[in-house]
Amino acid sequence: MPSPKYLEIQNLLLQRIKNGDYQEGQLIPKEVDLAEQLNVSRPTVRHAIRNLVQGGYLERRKKRGTIVTQTKIKQQFTHVIESYNTEIQNNGLVAKTQVLNFSTEKASDEVAEALTIKPNTEVYKLVRLRSADNKPVVFVVTYLPIAQLPDLQKIDFTHHSLYSELAKAGLEITHVSRKIEVHPATEEEAQLLETDIKAPIFYFHTIGFTKDHRALEYSIASYRGDLNYFMVEIDKH
């Protein structure tokens, strides 16, 4: 199935943003000029631009035109519960997951505390490196209690999302508690995420809960600071 025309144009414009043809803070060409240049209709160009505005890459400025605001990936993990793949696709990028390790081990004090199980209970340890358009975005280590998920190791997390697999098992994650830190990249992070040692890294600790308030997931994620930003929306109660 060929992808819709606007998506083709969207990816092409995104490519130009990513490789610096269109620079941060600079205007992109007018709709009418882009339509002519790319040999597509104006509505198609408009559709592509609208998506990139929603993705946070472009911003319309009154009277001036459309400028490149942001070359980072907009992440909503601080605001909604959504799978990594959905987040990345919302940015018009191709998400990929590499499973570096999927084994079982005895829960450390830290893991046991997070999952409210006894230390030394057997847990899964799932280690994934996730990318967008082949650039590494986040390195994440996830611990899950075996007792509640006896068949998990049959699943190939290269192609399946953890959250949808949990939901399928009747254990949907409906509440997430997340601690956000930053730190300078360690050697391991720098190597895996293809960035410099000591570059700023977003460092998340997450506990995911099911509807009945059971802690089912404990994840430690390292996001490249130069590639990602996060949004929060807060209402006064």
Give contact residues for a second copy (rule: CB under 8 A): 59, 61, 64, 72, 78-81, 109, 113, 172-184, 198-202, 225-226, 229-237
> Strand 95-106 to strand 122-132: parallel, antiparallel, or no bridges (unpaired)?
antiparallel
Minimum distance from CB of 86 to a second copy (Å)? 13
| DSSP letter (8 states) at residue 32 | H
Is the Cβ of residue 102 or residue 230 nearer to a second copy in the bound state?
230
Is the Cβ of residue 94 or residue 182 nearer to a second copy in the bound state?
182
| DSSP letter (8 states) at residue 224 | E
| DSSP letter (8 states) at residue 134 | T
Minimum distance from CB of 200 to a second copy (Å)? 4
Burial class (CB in 10 A: 0-12, 13-18, 19+), 28: buried
Minimum distance from CB of 227 to a second copy (Å)? 11
Is the Cβ of residue 147 or residue 197 nearer to a second copy in the bound state?
197
Minimum distance from CB of 234 to a second copy (Å)? 5
Cα gap 118→27, rounded to integer Å: 57
Is the Cβ of residue 42 or residue 79 nearer to a second copy in the bound state?
79
Cα gap 141→143, rounded to integer Å: 7
What CA–CA distances, in Å, run from 119 to 15, 31, 98, 133? 48, 60, 29, 39
Is the Cβ of residue 55 or residue 200 nearer to a second copy in the bound state?
200
The pair phi, psi for residue 192, each rounded to 5°, is: -65, -40
Minimum distance from CB of 150 to a second copy (Å)? 25
